[in-house]
Amino acid sequence: MTDTTRDIQETASDCPTGNSSTDHRWQVVPGPTLPPTRRAHRQDLRTAVAVDLGRLAASMSRRLGMGSGGMIGGRLALSVQPRALHKLAIGRRVVMVTGTNGKTTTTQMVAEALRSQAPAVSNGTGANMLDGHVAALMTRPDAPFAALEVDELHLAQVTAQFEPAVILLLNLSRDQLDRVGEIRTVAASLRRALAQAPGAQVIANRDDPNIVFAAADHPAATWVSGGVRWKDDALNCPNCGTFIGDTDRDWRCTCGLARPAADWTVTETGVASANGTHHELALSLPGHVNRVNATFALAAALQLGCDKESALTRICRVSQAAGRYQTVRLARRQVRLLLAKNPASWLEMLDLVGGNDHPLVLVVNSREADGYDVSWLWDVDFEVLRGRPVRVAGDRALDLAVRLRYADVPCAVASSVDDALIGSGDGVPDVVANYTAFRDLVARSRR
């Protein structure tokens, strides 16, 4: 166990457990003013060779136009040194970010906040499994901080190799059911992952019963309250199955699982801490959902000793994350790209575009990375678009058109996104796309 981990565990043991039966409120205990140095740590020969080969592979991938190298470099390094993730994490203070929605944006906010104090590496391309983590860490082995996005089902593999300083649990909702499985399976996996990291500080969403179930027994938990608009995946207790109903209230199940008291509460303009202090969030990114993401990032930064004002300044400057919310040029016009990959994220994005009358293009694919099953389209409240002309494209454009017809939303099917954009009206169109469609549009915009 490293001295850093031991210090975190001792700090956690002095804090209340977050049990909802008490009236305690959490107070963030800042880390050391200066991050630990990594100069004293020397890589063993096998790890050094793995890092050099991984960097070479990543560089070649970029030069040949085959990708960012965010996976191939890490994969090669792991083939040479299976313990590369553990070795590269030694001496660093790592923040892991997981959840169904918001991982990439929150991870970028965390990375920027940490950079207000010292260099930090991050898997900003969204490569969120072990090879992506290794690829990120080996870009700068001397960086004392790391902010890493992690796939929900892979957090347990991470905590089996090393103990992060902070773990952020954002939310859980149905997504890629043919790959991930039901939400309770994911919640149980997160619970096991946290049990392997008792010294980590967990910052979790108190309004999502699935997240509460995963983190309730952890000895060091800070709770964020931002509300949960998508509630259909959290109507029953994830512990015993009892119906709990409206999660906006202070619910308590008969099995004992209950909504914890909030340490951070997201407001219409910012965030309030447990002691009543309000912090304004003048974000570059739109919507309530990004105030929630920013609150998680701020809480993580303060936990690791960052200055509040410096961290907030950097968080507020984030204007896009791996293409999300970015305005790009496609089909000879400026368009804004938005990612929506499941009912919960579609709800947020439709709420965002509902406040304007810009041309709207919706794009849905169903490839391996999306999940082949698109029956979730019928769970999305497309009725909010009634009276607004919409153009649809993508592999499953016809399925989407049928769903919109039943929602009484006028739509036109286009053979491609370019055709949809060419035929749309004046103004900057909003293009809302699911994962592979969004990824392809971002790649095209960067050529």
Q: Which of 288, 317, 346 is the last residue of a domain?
A: 317
Please return the burial class of 159, using the count of CB atoms within 10 Å of its CB with bins 0-12, 13-18 and 19+: buried
Residues 236, 256: one domain?
yes
Q: What is the 3-state secondary structure (H, E, C) of the chain?
A: CCHHHHHHHHHHHCCCCCCCCCCCCCCCCCCCCCCCCCCCCCCCHHHHHHHHHHHHHHHHHHHCCCCCCCCHHHHHHHHHCCCHHHHHHCCCEEEEEECCCCHHHHHHHHHHHHCCCCCEEECCCCCCCHHHHHHHHCCCCCCCEEEEECCHHHHHHHHHHCCCCEEEECCCCCCCCCCCCCHHHHHHHHHHHHHCCCCCEEEEECCCHHHHHHHCCCCCEEEEECCCCCCCCCCECCCCCCECCCCCCCCECCCCCECCCCCEEECCCEEEECCCCEEECCCCCCCHHHHHHHHHHHHHHHHCCCCHHHHHHHHHHCCCECCECCEEEECCEEEEEEECCCHHHHHHHHHHHCCCCCCEEEECCCCCCCCCCCHHHHHCCHHHHCCCCEEEECCCHHHHHHHHHHCCCCEEECCCHHHHHHCCCCCCCEEEECHHHHHHHHHHHCC
Domain residue limits at 412: 327-445
- Count of domains for the chain: 2
Percent of the chain with pLDDT over 90: 71
Q: 371 or 396: whose pLDDT is higher? A: 396
Q: Judge whether 246 counts as a catalytic residue.
A: no
- Determine whether the annotation assigns residue 240 to a binding site: yes
Is residue 322 a part of any domain in this protein?
Answer: no
Tens of pLDDT, residues 149-193? 999 999 999 999 999 999 999 999 988 777 777 899 999 999 999
Residues 280 and 332 reside in one and the same domain: no
The token duo for 27 is 């107070």
pLDDT tens digits, residue range 30-79? Answer: 444 445 444 445 678 999 999 999 889 888 888 887 777 678 889 999 99
State the pLDDT at residue 18: 38
Residues 202 and 163 in one domain: yes
- Give the pLDDT of residue 42: 66
Q: What angle do CA 429, 431, 436 make, to 5 degrees?
A: 160
At 170, the amino acid letter reads L
Give a yes or no: residue 364 inside a domain: yes
Judgement on whether residues 116 and 208 belong to the same structural domain of the protein:
yes
What CATH number is attached to the domain comprising 414? Answer: 3.90.190.20
Q: Is 237 annotated as a binding residue?
A: yes
Are 256 and 391 found together in one domain?
A: no
CA atoms within 13 A on the CB side of 391: 20
Can you read off the two tokens belonging to residue 148? 């890493």
Same domain, yes or no: 265 and 378: no
Give the mean pLDDT of the chain: 88
**346: in domain:** yes
pLDDT digits (tens, 9 = 90+) for 274-309: 888 898 999 999 999 999 999 999 999 999 999 999
- The CATH code of the domain that includes 140 is 3.40.1190.10
Does residue 256 share a domain with residue 400? no
Question: What pLDDT is attached to residue 38?
Answer: 46
Of 373, 381, 399, 426, the active-site residue reads: 373
Same domain as 418, residue 270 = no
Domain presence at residue 29: yes
Residue where one domain finishes, among candidates 293, 317, 341: 317
Q: Is residue 119 a part of any domain in this protein?
A: yes
Residues 119 and 96 in one domain: yes
Q: Determine the Cα–Cα distance for residues 416 and 185; give it in Å rounded to an integer.
A: 37
Measuring CA to CA, which residue among 407, 328, 332, 395 is closest to residue 365?
Answer: 395
pTM of the entire structure? 0.88
Residues 309 and 333 in one domain: no
Is 139 part of a structural domain of the chain? yes
Highest mean pLDDT of the ranges 20-34, 124-138, 288-302 = 288-302
241 within some domain:
yes
Same-domain pairing of 29 and 95: yes
Do 332 and 267 reside in the same domain of the chain? no
